[in-house]
Amino acid sequence: MKYSTYAEYDPRGLALAEPALLTVWSGLGSYHDELVLVGGLVPQYLCRHPDSPSALPRPASLDVDLGIALGATAGQYGSLSADLQAQGFRLSEKFPTRFEKQIGMFPVYIDFLVERMPATQGTAMVDDIPANILPGIDRALATARSVTIEGTDLFGAQQRLTVRVCEVGAFLVLKLRAFARRQQPKDAFDILYTLLHYDGGLAAAAAAFAEEGVAKNPAFREARACLKSQFQSDDAAGPVRAAHFIFGELQAGDSDDTRLRRLQVQQDVVSFGLALLGAAR
């Protein structure tokens, strides 16, 4: 689930995403080499996070998205559905490709994504679960970064796990393709935040994005086209929606400072988009 502004997210729901990741990852040990974290949690582990009062809000996610290899299997050691059920996750009645666990008043969702070219949408069975088809997942798997994550899982246990996280090039491709298809403010914000705070710096992020084109990531062409059509000017959809996610609707009574900060965000998004395009020539 995605909201159009950061203010709409309940902090109590946001606080469950990482514990959900730790819970699921700890329970899928037979599949670790064939899994990668993708989606809204990724910037948490690729970026340095400034704490100044003027800093952007942290990326927000209410669910866990996991890319998985099409042929993933545990062999004689069980199945994905059995391992997920052992952690308390069941297929959702409302969303038949999502796994769900209720924590108090908040449902926590786990989504699995798989590449199955030439298909670009629909679902595919992986082991014994349905996964949504998404081009670009194989590159996320191939280039994943190993990150040590420490925290408390949904059972209250302390965990220290090494998780495979989507690297910045493949992540930007996935996010840009998503924005091209649904123009959700959160996707534009995630792109902005990642390029602003990526721990390797902007030049490295742009180079990694360009490498996805060289490696023939099947989602790259659409991602690059999105940059050209939606990120080239202050009033284009990408910059405007990124600012909307942070500040909400433009109001007649907004202070000069708020208007200036909104414009600065839009200009930053344009600059970052141009940097990616420049690297991907």
Q: Cα-atom radius of gyration of the chain, to the nearest Å?
A: 19
Domain boundary among 166, 187, 215: 166
On whether both 93 and 69 belong to a single domain, the answer is yes
Confidence band of 271 (pLDDT split at 50, 70, 90):
very high
Domain boundary among 166, 189, 213: 166
pLDDT at residue 281 in the model:
79
On whether both 173 and 79 belong to a single domain, the answer is no
For the chain, the average pLDDT equals 94
Helix (H, G, I), strand (E, B) or coil at 145: strand
- With a pLDDT cut of 70, the percent of the chain lying above it is 99
**Each residue of 67-116: pLDDT tens digit?**
999 998 877 677 999 999 999 999 998 888 999 999 999 999 999 999 99
d(CA 223, CA 240): 18
pLDDT at 35 over 80: yes
3-state percent breakdown (helix, strand, coil) of the chain, nearest 5:
45, 20, 35
93: Cβ contacts below 8 Å, ≥ 6 apart: none
Given the structure tokens 């038949």, which residue do they identify? 96
DSSP assigned state of 158: E
On whether both 182 and 151 belong to a single domain, the answer is no
On whether both 153 and 45 belong to a single domain, the answer is yes
On whether both 272 and 199 belong to a single domain, the answer is yes
139 alpha carbon, distance to own chain's centre:
14
Given the structure tokens 């490498």, which residue do they identify? 211
**Each residue of 181-232: pLDDT tens digit?**
999 999 999 999 999 999 999 999 999 999 999 999 999 999 999 999 999 9
On whether both 20 and 63 belong to a single domain, the answer is yes
Range(s) of the domain holding residue 216: 167-281
Domain boundary among 123, 151, 166: 166
Given the structure tokens 């996010």, which residue do they identify? 175
113 membership: H or E segment, kind and range: strand 106-114
> Per the structure, how many domains does the chain have?
2
pLDDT at residue 172 in the model:
98
